[in-house]
Amino acid sequence: VTLSNYDALAIGFAGTRGGVDEQMSTVLNDIAPAAHAEGSELSELERESYEQRERAVRRDGSWRLRVVAPPAYPVARLAADETTAAAAVPIAYPLLGVALHAYGATAVPTDAAPPGPNWNVEALRKRVASATAGSGRIVVHAMPDAARDHVDAWGPLPPSFGLMRTLKERFDPHGLCNPGRYLGGL
């Protein structure tokens, strides 16, 4: 659906042909007009272009980040960094409260320098937490090897960590399933 300010919302449907047709009809004939937006089905070329963008943000760039926040927040812009060239166009899933960002690395981190091209993951985390009243998080999916000693991929422990630990202990009492590979060493 193309909105009047030239932002775009791509919606994908899966299911039976009849179900997909019904959902597409509802979006185009009911929801888009009610939102004062224009809507159209993506052409095959547009669909392929979108899929390529999604693959690029998941695979390109030395730094790949996932922003997670409640759906009320603009996840696509929360971790955008105008000082660093993106390696791929960010992809956002606003109804899920998730956005994916990819950046290249132009500097090698040291103990005295922030890890990253021209920005610091911790500064981004603080900005996202501040903009979301503490409910937003950044998870680093990929980073340069030189940054691994400087950056915790998971970030600070959430308030729900105690519950996570209890669930892990109940479902994996012997600690056999990926020990130490999750948030907080779970």
Q: Which pLDDT tens digit goes with each residue over 55-83? A: 888 888 888 889 899 988 888 777 776 66
Contact 94, 76 (CB under 8 A): yes
Per-residue pLDDT for 116 more than 60?
A: no
pLDDT at res. 17: 93
Gap between the Cα atoms of 3 and 1, Å rounded? 6
Share of the chain above pLDDT 90, in %: 17
Cα–chain-centroid distance for residue 164? 21
141-186 per-position pLDDT tens digit? 988 887 887 788 888 888 889 999 999 999 999 989 888 888 888 8
- Evaluate if residue 111 carries a pLDDT over 70: no
Q: For the chain, count helices (H), then strands (E).
A: 6, 4
Q: Which two tokens stand for residue 74?
A: 């603009």
Residue 82's pLDDT is: 64
CB-count exposure of residue 65 (10 Å: 0-12, 13-18, 19+): buried
The pLDDT value given to residue 168: 92
> What's the average model confidence in pLDDT over 28-40?
88
For residue 84, pLDDT beyond 80: no
Q: How far is CA 19 from the centre of its chain?
A: 28
pLDDT confidence band for 12 (50 / 70 / 90): confident
State the pLDDT at residue 110: 45
Question: Cβ(102)–Cβ(88) under 8 Å?
Answer: yes
- Selection from 76, 77, 91, 67 nearest residue 141 by Cα: 67
Distances (CA, A) of 26 to 21, 29, 44, 59: 9, 5, 21, 34
Neighbours of 130 (CB within 10 A): 11
